[in-house]
Amino acid sequence: MKPMPTSTPKSTTVLSREEVAKIYRRPLLELVFEAAQIHRAHHENYDVQCSSLLNIKSGSCPEDCTYCSQSAHNDTSLESEPLMELDAVVRAAKNAQKNGADRFCMGAAWRGVADNKEFDQVIDMVKEVKSLGLETCATLGLMNEEQAHKLKEAGLDYYNHNLDTSRDYYDKVITTRTYDDRLDTLSAVRAAGLKTCCGGILGLGESEDDRINLLHELHSLETVPESVPINALVPIEGTPLETTEPLAWDQMVRCVATARILMPQSKVRLSAGRKSMTDEGQTLCFLAGANSIFLGDKLLTTDNATVTDDTQLFDKLGLKPIVSACETTFTV
């Protein structure tokens, strides 16, 4: 057995932006080969952590994220839904656990957390999901340290808060909050002792330099995120990005491989956009160090690979889901 990663992996040496660019732009096979070696030095070769994500409150979000179907600024067909009832969330968590998830993430389309009855309801959800033996994660938008402490006391393990893209490109994607707002929330989450899940979305129209800058930013955080989701844009009708050209397949592989090299102990998660990747493209990403996925047919409001597709691919590649204490039906 390889040593388990520490709960708060540190960047040992912080590389300069130019050094990160050099890694990112290596010949692809050389890059994947090095990432695979680093992956094998820090993780069990074939283990993949499986998370499940539930949208506990949908739509009517005041933020103007150009990629998102839930923004009130975008004219999409998404129906808004109020905060889910506790029982329904617990049922969904049990179902995810049965399907093989060991982490359950609850997402609310809010600008941020408010100290109100709804936040108390989310606290109850965290307590109940944690009591099932699942790792817990939440993504609720901006948050202060006191609120982060409340979530930590309730049993929250991870807080998801993506940087999305580079600092330079950020205001082309979102104008209702700043990059520093995001970093402030990440600091509050850390101060409360929570682990962070923080990555980005590729294919928003950003340049390769922006992708390199995002990876450099993540690598330079005082404590690097324990989970690093790498998403590819899923263009949604009614959003400003609906006609955006798909990301070139090698860019996804380069980002995964570079993230693995820069953050050797973190879980690197192949996230949104996986459904439109080929099996071959996903295989290269797993070889390059991706060791986490979202399980389930839906990722918030976009389609995801089915559990059946994932079971077949895992079987073919010899990958194994990290199994929680519970019984699962995800068999490989």
* Binding positions for ligand SF4, rule: CB under 6 A: 61, 63, 65, 68, 70-71, 109, 141
> Parallel, antiparallel, or unpaired: how do β-strands 103-108 and 135-139 relate?
parallel
Q: Establish whether 285 is a catalytic residue.
A: no
Instruction: Determine the straight-line distance between the first and last CA of the chain, rounded to whole angstroms.
Output: 20
> Nearer to ligand SF4 by C-beta: 73 or 127?
73
Burial of 161: CB neighbours in 10 Å, binned 0-12, 13-18, 19+: buried
The single residue of 182, 190, 211, 269 carrying the catalytic annotation is 269
- Calpha distance 193→134 (Å, rounded): 18
Least spacing, CB of residue 230 vs ligand SF4, in Å: 16
> Nearer to ligand SF4 by C-beta: 189 or 285?
189
Least spacing, CB of residue 109 vs ligand SF4, in Å: 4
The single residue of 50, 103, 177, 197 carrying the catalytic annotation is 197
Least spacing, CB of residue 72 vs ligand SF4, in Å: 8
Q: Establish whether 105 is a catalytic residue.
A: yes
For 185, what's the count of Cα atoms within 13 Å in the CB-facing half-sphere?
Answer: 23
For 12, what's the count of Cα atoms within 13 Å in the CB-facing half-sphere?
Answer: 7
Residue with tokens 């979305």: 201
Cβ atoms 67, 239 nearer than 8 A: yes
> Nearer to ligand SF4 by C-beta: 63 or 128?
63
Residue with tokens 């160090």: 289
Least spacing, CB of residue 12 vs ligand SF4, in Å: 32
> Parallel, antiparallel, or unpaired: how do β-strands 298-299 and 302-303 relate?
antiparallel
> Nearer to ligand SF4 by C-beta: 184 or 309?
184
Q: What is the 3-state secondary structure (H, E, C) of 213-225?
A: HHHHHHHHCCCCC
The single residue of 50, 137, 198, 285 carrying the catalytic annotation is 137
- Calpha distance 311→190 (Å, rounded): 35
> Nearer to ligand SF4 by C-beta: 141 or 321?
141
The single residue of 50, 61, 255, 285 carrying the catalytic annotation is 61
Least spacing, CB of residue 141 vs ligand SF4, in Å: 6
- Calpha distance 240→179 (Å, rounded): 20
- Calpha distance 1→83 (Å, rounded): 42
Q: Establish whether 50 is a catalytic residue.
A: no
The single residue of 68, 198, 255, 285 carrying the catalytic annotation is 68
Q: Establish whether 68 is a catalytic residue.
A: yes
Instruction: Go through the chain and tell me how many residues it has.
Output: 332
Least spacing, CB of residue 166 vs ligand SF4, in Å: 17
Q: Establish whether 197 is a catalytic residue.
A: yes
b/e for 297-317, b at 16 or more Cβ within 10 A?
eebbbbebbebeebbebbeeb
> Nearer to ligand SF4 by C-beta: 300 or 313?
300
Residues assigned a catalytic role: 61, 65, 68, 105, 137, 197, 269
